[in-house]
Chains A and B, each alone.
Chain A
């Protein structure tokens, strides 16, 4: 197993730029997810790492070995594909053994390598069946077996779960993650599904328009997105993004919009800095991090809330209640997620509290998060 480092990697298809100056690192034994909307360059990135596509600029290293000029075979990697890419003319065992056949090993040696893989993936029962007869999940397991059998430096997963049914998806997701941890393999996962990325990866790299937006562990990505794109892309329901301005009312700094404003703590006000003064800003708050008070009068809940609003819509999502709250007299709409049932009807008043730790303040012009904890690229 090896670490993978990309340094200023660029790729062009004619005039179209697939990736621009892409740099990131996936440590040995880690799973890195490349996440982004379709056409963001994640598949091109993956094919460049695999050596299927040429690189137009920059370097790719496995550990400290430059692999730019190496063919896919020389890189010693394995791939798991979206539509499995199993050879339909071969049985399960033959498919798994195929990468080893090249080495012209005797049959006995082949079996010695293939059998443990079959066992690991619970495929012994089907080893002689035609791969077309298997369910999607089983087919993908065969494909993972084919990747594992040759002890690759790196396994690349290209949307491995996209074509599976919901139950098989969750099952295989866990299985892949457990295998990856147990065998200590380095993995790069390409996906457009954020749940998948967050559940399976140690680090998530969000890409858009061929550029890296942010690479961080899933939690940081979720709570402190580096820019508006990531804020929008990650999270369901999406982050509340409210246009505000920074004001100073003498008592302290406030983020204010027509009809409402919230006060900022000392530390956070400092971090936003002078630069933000007078600029158009966007306040970002995750629906799940907003504090809700439904007890009236507000004094019972420890002082007035940051914002007083009215519930206009309520949605039950099984594990949470999602409320749409409007600030009266404005067109500000805030989505709030609550774990407990609130029993609030339409039109009921509600108090919202925005703790400082939940705040993200973006520069509307550049989209950058002025409160980014750190920015690693």
Chain B
């Protein structure tokens, strides 16, 4: 079930809220678990067993490991978790490449990728690693752990919530009006970001990729739009997840911090999909030795981390290229460009802007489309600078692009909060504004055919 749908918004969510708030405190987790399982079952009927198996297996292994801290047990658990992820996500990619490389003819398997598998596998493995390291105590019971793993606000598109972040809240959380207001408001703003901004920019991309005669301007607009669409879609899902978490009394960590104003790529990755980058840092980069064992090993570690980061996003060469692209740039920044970029702020912003835009071109296009597209962007395909079609579509989506640009900076929030301090009327009309936004978003959901779920490959 996706958040931006009528069944979720007006049926699943109110029924879950009603059941949750009328249920006594000690049974609230059961309501959350049952609703989360239904939420998953709605979209992935047969893989509900997989989700439950993963929860039970990791719960049992967590308990065993907490009592018997053998590394072999940890390795066994991680191998099973990632073996499952590999089977569902990478088997066919592996077979395709073996076939190409060795000219064999191994049949592709009929495997459907379970939605959210990368998220819940990463959560489950972080749990057992943390239990092994003694950073957390194991979950009290399988119900509590399954609720954590299957918690519907973050189940299918993140953020990756670590057990240590919500362990206390699993058993002891309060229902407060303040949290309810903040959570519901954050959810509705996230919903509007997804349905109005990300989806319309997605339509702009479709229009640009379908124009009769592409131009240099149309390819740049398409490239910029890839970045904006992915940012607004993904950060919107995080907003909705964090908001819903808050409604139920959970405080999930922030997942995005205005990444499009980053001053370099290192800064960008401190602001983009924070839960994923910190996961890789804590569970892969640091265990590999991080930057403590000299330049060569640091470079090796960074390349391993970014290769796996790329692969995490999907079983395809463009994701591997995307990961390595960032890996190489981060190495360059760390060892060569750092001082220069710190001294030249304007150049560093332009550099980051272009690097990020190109990165999402790599992210969005397959290997065969990529090179011709990049050549078009840089005027190497004999395209005109612009034409009527490009300008027509630019005008058509200009306001939404403008909103997206301004909305990707922290200034809107800053100005709004200042205005709220200065004029009381803003606070007074806020409830009306939020409900109006909910209704407008509903109107877009009702009347729009383009409402993609971008995380089916994750």
Whether chain B is bound by chain A comes out as no
